[in-house]
Structure 1
Amino acid sequence: MPEISTPPACRVRPATLLDEAALGELDRATWSTLHAVMPRPQPPYAPFFDDRHRPEHFLVAETQDAAGGSRPAGYLRLVAPTPLACNSHVRQIQGLAVADRARGRGVARALLRAAFAAARDEGANRMTLRVLGHNTPARALYESEGFVVEGVLPGEFFLDGRYVDDVLMGRPLAP
């Protein structure tokens, strides 16, 4: 996949095994019941990459740090939702995280647009995702990028003492 450079201070690239520590740290730092249904990670931490979460499933957004170097500011996991041939035209976002220091700077939008391009390059013509109903900022971002609500599983999760909907969203990947 070609590198995508939007916004100017952000570069999106495929993940590599060398990103393991930084992405694990980012994942733990951004954990919240706003988007996570799994319990908060506790030491000893599981590896970020494993048999089901391989580097080739992730896009990494890098921004410049104060010293002029770059470091991961966000990631997006993009996979086929099933191994079925009849479903091979679909890609699914199964995780998106942006570091607090990079929020509001277009990092998530750059990751989404890079995911659209990567999915198209793989022959996909449709993108789906699931988002928690109370995650208003994420839902607004997804809607601004062409996703629409295609289904709702009411009260699917019990988080922080309340039931939360699981919202299914999708969009076509027309060029």
Structure 2
Amino acid sequence: MTVPETFVIRGARAGDGEPLGALDRAEWSPLHAVLPPPSEPYPPFFDERHQPADYLVAERAGVLLGYVRVARPTPLESNGHVRQIQGLAVASEARGQGVGRALLRATLAKAAADGATRITLRVLGHNTPARALYAAEGFAVEGVLPGEFLVEGKPVDDVLMGRPLSQGPLG
């Protein structure tokens, strides 16, 4: 049995936009997407609201394996201590190798280093793999919006999860 090469987690760079867009399109799934499948012409991955500084990426031998986007949920000073995960994707060929967990843990560390004390996210109720990962890393369900989205014509819950950053990564 061969062990895959290790990967590194780093901040995204402007030049990562095209490969991240391709990864995002390749991994589109109704398991986690509430928008229809992407179609041409594809918008740029980075834009005014989605800057490279908001992303961490996993990279192995120059190939991007996944990303996580973390940002402030609002511009309000009263919740400036909160960060929100606003997207996490791992390439199919890299799943089961700890990439998602490493991205998540790096996000927790970065958010804490940036002065945040709490982190939140939203995940679709039927996305069992993502929910299990988040729970294993200390996220708790803090609310559920039943049937908030129609995905492939079926109602799907929007699950709100969060955790304090002071608890540190688990595992």
* Alignment TM-score > 0.5, same fold: yes
1:77 aligns with 2:74: no
* Same amino acid, percent of matched pairs: 63
Deviations 1:140-160 (A, max 9, x none): 000000000000000000011
Unmatched segments (≥5 aa) in structure 2: none
Amino acid at match of 2:16: D
Output aligned runs, 1:144-159, within 5 Å. 144-159=136-151
Residue equivalent to 1:98: 90
Give the unaligned 5+ runs of structure 1. 1-6, 64-68
Query: What is the match of residue 16 of structure 2?
Result: 19
Q: Distance in 2 between matches of 1:47 and 1:80?
A: 21
Q: 1:8 to 1:109 in 2, by over 3 A?
A: farther
Q: Provide the rounded CA distance (Å) in 2 between the counterparts of 1:102 and 1:55.
A: 22
Of 54, 57, 72, 2:54 maps to 57
SS at match of 2:22: helix
Residues 43, 138 of structure 1: alpha-carbon distance in 2 compared, 3 angstrom cutoff? same
- Aligned with 1:39 (options 12, 33, 36): 36
Q: Secondary structure at the match of 2:108?
A: helix
SS at match of 1:112: helix
Structure 2 counterpart of 1:92, one-letter code: Q
Partner Cα distance (1:101, 1:8) in 2: 13
Runs of at least 4 residues of structure 1 off by over 3 A? none
Q: TM-score, normalised by structure 2?
A: 0.94
Q: Distance in 1 between matches of 2:45 and 2:122?
A: 20
- Report the RMSD for the aligned CA atoms in angstroms: 1.1
Structure 1 distance, partners of 2:132, 2:28, is: 20
What TM-score do you get using the length of structure 1 for normalisation?
0.92
Q: CA deviation at 1:161?
A: 1.9
Shift of the alpha carbon at 1:39?
1.1
Q: Figure out how many residues of one structure are paired with residues of the other and give that number.
A: 164
Aligned partner of 1:140 among 132, 142, 148? 132
Partner amino acid, structure 2, of 1:164:
V
Describe how 1:119-138 pairs up with structure 2 within 5 A: 119-138=111-130
Structure 2 CA distance, aligned partners of 1:14 and 1:124? 18
How far apart are residue 70 of structure 1 and its match? 2.3
